[in-house]
Structure 1
Amino acid sequence: MGLTKVDTKGRVVIPRDIRKRMGIKPGEEFLITEIDGDTIVMKRFDVRKMLEGMIKNAKGINLDELKEETEREGNRVAKELYDL
């Protein structure tokens, strides 16, 4: 745990001991999420890992089936919303 401040440009410094333990290097990106009014969570953001996961999940997708399913769902929602 460490104490840090927000500077005039909105930047926050991650304390050195935390950076060292976690192997955080300059230029790494993080996702920042507000949990509630006084809690923020930072998670390492690895674009390569995210893209690899997306590609892995997309390999089994049949585009024709996806298009048909999208049209069916759009028609279902339109019927509900507009009493068609």
Structure 2
Amino acid sequence: MSSSDGAETTRVTDKGQTTIPQELRKKFGIEPGDEVVWTEGDEGLTLRKKADLPHYGIAAEGMTDEEAELVAEELVEEMDELQKPDVDR
């Protein structure tokens, strides 16, 4: 169910399961079998698709999953920044 602020509402089952709305699964490329990451923050929970670490060429030997995930996120942010139009450079 979509609200006026663009938020989606779903129910949690007795087993703790919920459904990610189809529109959001399509928008964020979440497919059956994909892993998602739940993060607790000051404003509540956030959900995002887990980064495909081998896709980013990360050598994660000796890193915890959390450390490798942070490195992947930083690389994605840097790549996004590099792909922005060259307006101020």
TM-score (norm 1): 0.51
**In percent, how many aligned pairs have the same letter?**
30
Unaligned runs of at least 5 residues, structure 2? 1-6, 61-89
Whole-angstrom distance in 2 between the partners of 1:20 and 1:50: 20
1:17 aligns with 2:29: no
The residue type paired with residue 2 of structure 1 is E
1:48 aligns with 2:53: yes
Determine which structure has the larger strand proportion and give its number.
1
Give the drift of 1:43: 2.0
Report the equivalent of 2:13: 7
TM-score (norm 2): 0.49
Unaligned runs of at least 5 residues, structure 1? 56-84
Report the equivalent of 1:80: none
Q: List structure 1 runs of 4+ shifted beyond 4 angstroms.
A: none
Give the drift of 1:53: 1.8
The two structures, once aligned, show a CA RMSD in angstroms of 2.9
Report the equivalent of 2:44: 39
Determine which structure has the larger helix proportion and give its number.
1
